[in-house]
Amino acid sequence: MEQWKMENNDRKFEEYLGEFRPRKPRALPELIVHRQVWPRRLAAAAAIAISLGASLWFVRRKNELNNGEVVAKDSTSMLEAKSPASPLALLPLTQVALQDPKQLDAQLTAASLRVLPDFRGSTSTLRVLAKE
């Protein structure tokens, strides 16, 4: 009974204490800042991701183009080597020799006119040497 009386008094006094309210503190400034910073960070991350992706795409694209040019250059040089006007190249000549020996003779003759010293003209090396 004594205990109940005590508890009842306590409850009443507790209610009285509850009539006092602690002053509400000012709002947390960082909460507002957080809300503003979050989308900014997201936008920055998206921008970085996009620019990185674009850079990678450009690099890959450039590499693909370069590879294409190299292939094209290779095939062009092969063709040039096969033509009579081109300088002597062992690999194309070997290919021509295997495929068509007559064509090889023709190509060697044509090439010799360009590569070997000319001894038939009036200013040929041989004629000059013969005069001496």
Partner 1 sequence: MTERKLSAEDVRRLYDQHGPALVAYACSFVTDAAAAEDVVHQVFLRLLSAEIAIPDVPVAYVYRAVRNAALNAQRSGLRAVEVDPQSSVFQHRCGNQESALALEKALAELPEEQREVVVMRVWSGMTLEEVAAAAGAPLNTIASRYRYALEKLREKLRPYERNENGTMEDGK
Does 45 bind partner 1 (CB under 8 A)? Our answer is no
How near is the Cβ of 45 to partner 1 at its closest, in Å?
Answer: 17
Using the rule CB under 8 A, which residue among 1, 2, 5, 17 binds partner 1? 17
- The vertex-31 CA angle with 25 and 37, nearest 5°, equals 155
Question: What six digits make up the tokens of 22?
Answer: 């602690």
Residues 85-95 as b/e (b if ≥16 CB within 10 A, e otherwise) read: ebeeeeebbee
Q: Which stretch binds partner 1 (CB under 8 A): 10-18, 71-79, 83-91, 101-109?
A: 10-18
As a whole number of angstroms, the distance between CA 6 and CA 2 comes to: 6
How near is the Cβ of 69 to partner 1 at its closest, in Å?
Answer: 52
Does 119 bind partner 1 (CB under 8 A)? Our answer is no
Q: Which stretch binds partner 1 (CB under 8 A): 28-36, 69-77, 85-93, 116-124?
A: 28-36
Contacts of 78 (CB under 8 A, 6+ apart): 92
Does 19 bind partner 1 (CB under 8 A)? Our answer is yes
As a whole number of angstroms, the distance between CA 29 and CA 36 comes to: 11
Q: Which positions touch partner 1 (CB under 8 A)?
A: 6, 9-10, 13-14, 16-26, 28, 30-31, 34-35
